[in-house]
């Protein structure tokens, strides 16, 4: 049985992205993290804590949290108020989850899905001896964006970002082991891009070409200097561009950006290619500036914490048949226009932006790239002229080529609540290089419904459970004769009272504290695989949310040490998931559980268990096993070992592999 619930080929790629047609199990990447985003600003703490508890039980790794610059330092320079985050981080870690703080140097409000209004600190606009407008992006429409500080003010504001990060590190140094990643906002919505489709402009959003954002005085001066540096003089610029300018100040961004794009100047004229190259390279330098600042800002207690950055999936205008093709990505600064955008040799235009995290991979901590829109289909002939799914693969391919770890997100909250969205997400993990998932947002997957069911299924099938904890292969053999239609299950974990008294775990409040995280190694048995796919814990509580109907706990598989010819076609565990098994040296009717188990959740390696036979005798009787860490009426097994039991019998064999 294919555990990944997917087809034997990538889902439809409208423009022919090649992928080898192997089984998804053969190609699937294991995720190193499965995260959720917190609300932009938490107001209902009761609901949030309920969602955190659900997320933990699902197997979620961490919660990403926007640490709003304007919320913390809004009162004035160096006036930090961390109270909101003290409380929020405590709630998350108390639920047993890690945190991914996002250094959010952008405004909350004005982007798709924004439900809060937190501007960046107002004092920043008057903090320097330059007009406030010099710190803001100015668009081709003449509008200024107040969402972020312009990259053409990096030389002024990078010190403020560094101070903020240093203050954050000083405040939360004690949480270093609870922080999975530190993500750095590099632009609007926390993404490395220009605000080319944001609310300060009119008619620039999806599915339009966007609007260029390089019309402020500092931006124009930078373009002029860049052109003179490239060609040596104004005469050299005129020669290259076929112009007759008499003053450097005449070097300007497109006066009519609509004509510039629709006529194809960005591709067909040296001026157009140069303008887009400068515009693109300016954003690339900003990305490096921000990451370099983060490396300095987080060089103390967080020096070993992985850093992260995000780029958006701007998927519209990709399949246009006129000169507006790829124009939305160009206006956002993601790609240049002077390379072959149809070639994998250039990453279809993304080689430069992927090259930013690539340039830091020599560091021990590394930098991970996050990319959005994993839930989307291609829709090349629709109004958006979208190649979202193709883009998801293009960027992942380039990340793999440059050795960059890449993780995915859904672009729209609704995408995490549909089967189609999750089919596309799983398809990306099956056939591309994605190594982690962050869901927008926690309420989409921790309040029941399709979102929760599919994310829990994703976690069980794709998350590498050996990350964190102390996961070791653990095998249980339990002898018990059964008849046709009967199956054996076990339940287990740690005794609630013992855990509360001796381990400081309150299993009544958080029942996962007495459960033990597992990942099944055998998903080949057609009967038991549906029960295993949704089985994330060895626990005392029976059916988990996503197990198949009829599960009475953690499912086992019937095995024997020898399959005689008289039984017909030979069945083996490696091929069929049941039957003859090399580790079974004991005989027929030894039911087997083979899992990776988190030994860190046991009592010095020990855990309890008891068997149940469905449609038959049910629970076995009380056990009185000797040499156990505490008194119990159940069997005790050791994590990381082969444990051999018989139902209703106190004897045990514990063997090394």
User: Before 269, cis peptide (omega within 30)?
Assistant: no
* Strand partners for 491: 610
> Contact 351/393 with Cβ under 8 angstroms?
no
- Other beta carbons within 10 angstroms of residue 303's beta carbon come to 12
Choosing from 169, 409, 513, 544, the catalytic residue is 409
Q: Is the dihedral of CA 16, 20, 23, 26 positive or negative?
A: negative
Q: Active site includes 409? A: yes
Shortest CA distance to 151 belongs to which of 274, 290, 337? Answer: 290
For 302, how many CA atoms within 13 A lie in the half-sphere containing its CB? Answer: 26
Coarse DSSP helix, strand, coil percentages of the chain, rounded to the nearest 5 percent: 35, 20, 45
Distances 525 to 165, 457, 532, 550 between C-alpha atoms, Å: 51, 18, 10, 15
**Known binding-site residue numbers for Ca(2+):** 73, 77-78, 160, 163
Distances 47 to 52, 110, 235, 358, 525 between C-alpha atoms, Å: 9, 25, 66, 39, 39
Q: Active site includes 581? A: no
* 471-479/434-439 β-pairing: unpaired
Distances 24 to 6, 288, 377, 592 between C-alpha atoms, Å: 7, 36, 19, 26
**Known binding-site residue numbers:** 66, 73, 77-78, 106, 114, 160, 163, 310, 315, 372, 410-411, 441
**Known binding-site residue numbers for substrate:** 66, 106, 114, 310, 315, 372, 410-411, 441
> What secondary structure letter does DSSP report for 28?
P
One DSSP character per residue, 504-517 reads ---TTT-GGGGSEE
> Contact 73/164 with Cβ under 8 angstroms?
yes
Distances 648 to 44, 47, 494, 546, 625 between C-alpha atoms, Å: 49, 44, 20, 30, 11
Rounded to a whole number of angstroms, the CA Rg of the chain reads 29
> Contact 409/376 with Cβ under 8 angstroms?
no
Q: Is the dihedral of CA 54, 536, 649, 470 positive or negative?
A: negative
Choosing from 140, 147, 169, 191, the catalytic residue is 191
N-terminal to C-terminal alpha carbon distance within the chain: 26
* 579-580/367-371 β-pairing: unpaired
> Contact 161/174 with Cβ under 8 angstroms?
no
Which residues are part of the catalytic machinery?
191, 409
């Amino acid at each position: 049985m294919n555990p990944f619930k997917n087809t034997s080929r990538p889902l439809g790629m409208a423009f022919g992205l090649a992928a080898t047609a192997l089984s998804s199990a053969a190609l699937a990447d294991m995720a190193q993290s499965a995260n959720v985003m917190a609300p932009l600003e938490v107001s209902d703490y009761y609901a949030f804590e309920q969602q955190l508890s659900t997320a933990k039980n699902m197997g979620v790794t961490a919660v990403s949290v926007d640490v709003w610059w304007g919320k913390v330092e809004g009162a004035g320079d160096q006036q930090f108020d961390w109270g909101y985050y003290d409380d929020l981080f405590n709630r998350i870690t108390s639920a047993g989850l890690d945190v991914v703080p996002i250094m959010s140097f952008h405004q909350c409000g004005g982007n798709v899905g924004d439900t809060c209004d937190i501007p960046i600190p107002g004092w920043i606009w008057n903090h320097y001896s330059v007009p406030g407008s010099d710190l803001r992006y100015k668009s081709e429409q003449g509008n200024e964006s107040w969402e972020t500080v312009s990259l053409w003010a990096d030389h002024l504001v990078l010190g403020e970002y560094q101070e903020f990060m240093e203050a954050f590190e000083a405040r939360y140094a004690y949480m270093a082991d609870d922080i999975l990643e530190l993500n750095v906002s590099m632009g609007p919505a926390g993404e490395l891009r220009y605000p080319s489709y944001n609310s300060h402009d009119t008619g620039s959003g999806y599915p339009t070409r966007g609007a260029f954002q390089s019309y402020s005085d500092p931006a124009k001066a930078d373009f002029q200097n860049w052109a003179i540096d490239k060609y040596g003089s104004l005469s050299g610029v005129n020669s290259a561009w076929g112009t007759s300018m008499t003053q450097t100040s005449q070097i300007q961004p497109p006066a009519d950006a609509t004509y510039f794009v629709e006529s194809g100047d960005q591709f067909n004229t040296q001026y157009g290619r140069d303008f887009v190259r400068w515009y693109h390279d300016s954003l690339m330098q900003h990305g490096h500036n921000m990451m370099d600042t983060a490396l300095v800002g987080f060089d103390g207690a967080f020096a070993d914490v992985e850093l992260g950055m995000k780029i958006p999936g701007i998927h519209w205008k990709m399949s246009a048949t006129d000169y507006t093709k790829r124009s939305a990505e160009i206006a956002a600064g993601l790609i240049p226009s002077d390379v072959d955008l149809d070639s994998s040799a250039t990453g279809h235009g993304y080689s430069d932006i992927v090259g930013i995290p690539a340039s830091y991979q020599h560091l021990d901590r590394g930098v991970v790239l996050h990319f959005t829109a994993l839930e989307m289909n291609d829709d090349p002939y629709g109004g958006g002229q979208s190649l979202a799914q193709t883009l998801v693969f293009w960027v992942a391919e380039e990340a793999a080529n440059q050795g960059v770890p890449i993780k995915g997100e859904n672009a729209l909250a609704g995408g995490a609540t549909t089967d189609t969205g999750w089919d596309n997400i799983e398809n990306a993990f099956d056939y591309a290089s994605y190594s982690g998932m962050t869901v927008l947002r926690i309420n989409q997957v921790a309040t029941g419904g399709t979102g929760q069911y599919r994310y829990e299924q994703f976690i069980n099938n794709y998350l590498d459970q050996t990350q964190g904890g102390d996961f070791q292969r653990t095998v249980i053999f339990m002898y018990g004769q059964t008849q046709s239609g009967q199956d054996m299950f076990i339940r287990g974990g740690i005794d609630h009272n013992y855990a509360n008294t001796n381990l400081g775990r309150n299993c009544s409040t958080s029942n996962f504290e007495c459960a033990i995280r597992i990942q099944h190694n055998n998903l080949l048995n057609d009967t038991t695989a549906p029960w295993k796919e949704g089985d994330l814990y060895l626990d005392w509580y029976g059916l988990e949310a996503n197990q198949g109907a009829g599960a009475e706990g953690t499912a086992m598989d019937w095995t024997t040490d020898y399959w005689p010819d008289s039984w017909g076609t030979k069945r083996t565990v490696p091929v069929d998931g049941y039957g003859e098994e090399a580790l079974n040296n004991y005989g027929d009717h030894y039911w087997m559980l083979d899992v990776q188990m988190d030994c860190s959740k046991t009592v010095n390696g020990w855990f309890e268990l008891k068997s149940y036979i469905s449609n038959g005798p049910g629970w076995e009787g009380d056990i009185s096993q000797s040499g156990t860490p505490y008194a119990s009426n159940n069997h005790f097994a050791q994590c990381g070992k082969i444990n051999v039991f018989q139902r209703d019998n106190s004897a045990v064999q514990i063997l090394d592999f």
